[in-house]
Amino acid sequence: MAQRIQHYIGGRFVDSARQFANLNPVDGTVVGQVCEASAAEVDQAVQAAKAALQGDWGRCSPAQRADWLEKLAAGIEQRFEAFVQAEVLDTGRTVRQARTLDVPRAIANFRFFANLVRQAHTECFETIAADGSRALNYTVRKPLGVVVAISPWNLPILLFSWKVAPALALGNAVVSKPSEETPSSAFLLAQVAHDIGFPAGAFNVLQGFGGDSAGQAMISHPDIDAVTFTGASATGAHIMKTVADGVKDVSFELGGKNAAIVFEDADFDAAVDGVVQSTFTNSGQVCLCSERVLVQRSIYERFVAALKARTEALVLGRPDDPATDIGPMISKKHQAKVVSYFELARQEGATVVTGGDVPVFGDDRDQGFWVRPTIWTGLPDDARCLREEVFGPVCHVAPFDTEAQAIARANDSDYGLATAIWTRDLSRAHRVSPQMRSGLVWVNTWYLRDLRTPFGGVRRSGIGREGGRHSLDFYSEVTNICIKIQDAPSTGDH
């Protein structure tokens, strides 16, 4: 029997008259029915959030909020396999990835921000004025208020918790929406919150679509105070326009057209393996994936041959098969988008090194949303396939001659999220990395994250940074308090 996925509003699970099907991308089967929030239900959630800020949740100390986050983390741990299955059913990703990355990272997100808010400190300065009077200036952090958190489908619980955890840690009330493609793990987290008695209204989950649906109603609501969004750049631009008149705070992590640069002095095998990982992880459906690979000419032909061999060895399979490397696209619509770039690449003159088609399995997977991992060469830098984000298991490999050329071509993009550099030359690593016009630079690795470090992009890849103290800065308002503690010394005669 298909699962019914509800909203969670003000501490209660709520149904909607309108519902839509949740599909398994592996074979296209229906795995659940999802409620679609109306504007009325969005308003209920916002009003519940406002009430929570005036009630028990608003009176919680930082330590008490941290305790609640620890309880959420423990609740995820207790239902670990249920979260794994929710991620796998919604996305088609491997069980291995869900168990080793997605769910553990969600647990870590709640615990990290619980610890961070416990350790957060204020600034304090003693001020001596020109007349000799003295004052203390210190800062206090206060919640923004009602925070709308909209997360994407590619890493559902990981990115959902990356927003919800710091927002709650700083005392905000959250009105959240997962992608319509991946509603299950957010619903499961709502169940965890309900079971532990999380303060009603502090954490609300709405299901539904973006434009002309729940998402639009959320960002348009006059009583929200901030929006955090991960997704397409065009959607981020639309949100900015919508909230501009109210001057709402925004934090965006948007698209990417990331470059990997492989210098001739790199550890060749490590670089090949690294580019395979940075291109095809999660079937290329990660904003940090490398879609543009630049290889120094002296090793270019050898590198393309090795990358082709490693790519063709990747196994397209079912999520529970330990041998599986590559899963399906998230949806029929997204599969069609990626396939459209296969045709466009041919029109633009690409050489298809491998892939470029839809695999045929001869079983129920043929009803799913698969594409074959693909490598192109031969495109000019101004080709649409090298300017637009495909967000699938594809990359283009091109040769370069000089370091300066590699830097210029890597930076020649409307996006600026991540760059991966492969070199054994430490001086080159330190010289090239600061010149990258991207929010993150990895050297001889990819996707290695420390939750204390800033995360975010430049240009069409986003606005703002989150992670560590950077999350504290976005999810709170800082007020300076100045208290006079001593008058100016008397100048009278004694």
Which residues belong to the active site? 253, 287
Neighbours of 142 (CB within 10 A): 12
**206 with 48: CB under 8 angstroms?**
no
Which residue from 209, 210, 207 is spatially nearest to 175, judged by alpha carbons? 207
Which residue from 277, 282, 19, 32 is spatially nearest to 153, judged by alpha carbons? 282
Element (H, E) at 260: strand 258-262
- Distance (Å, rounded) from C-alpha 467 to C-alpha 171? 17
Q: What does the buried/exposed string (b/e) look like for 421-458 if buried means 16 or more CB atoms within 10 Å of the residue's CB? A: bbbeeeeebeebeeebbbbbbbbbebbeeebeeebbbe
Element (H, E) at 228: strand 226-230
Which residue from 12, 15, 9, 7 is spatially nearest to 49, judged by alpha carbons? 9
**325 with 316: CB under 8 angstroms?**
yes
**293 with 266: CB under 8 angstroms?**
no
**414 with 257: CB under 8 angstroms?**
yes
Which residue from 355, 450, 348, 462 is spatially nearest to 109, judged by alpha carbons? 450
Task: Report how far apart, in Å, the C-alpha atoms of 411 and of each of 4, 453, 461 are.
Answer: 46, 22, 13
Phi, psi angle pair for 324, to nearest 5°: -70, 135
Phi, psi angle pair for 54, to nearest 5°: -90, -10
Task: Report how far apart, in Å, the C-alpha atoms of 42 and of each of 12, 92, 207, 321, 398 are.
Answer: 14, 29, 10, 40, 48
Which residue from 322, 181, 163, 170 is spatially nearest to 250, judged by alpha carbons? 163
Q: Which residues contact 260 (CB under 8 A, 6 or more apart)?
A: 274, 275, 278, 279, 290, 292, 293, 294, 395, 419, 420, 421, 422, 446
Phi, psi angle pair for 33, to nearest 5°: -115, 135
Beta-strand ranges (E) seen in 45-184 are: 124-128, 134-143, 146-150, 173-177
- Coil, strand or helix at 429: helix
Task: Report how far apart, in Å, the C-alpha atoms of 487 and of each of 133, 136, 240, 352, 425 are.
Answer: 5, 12, 47, 78, 60
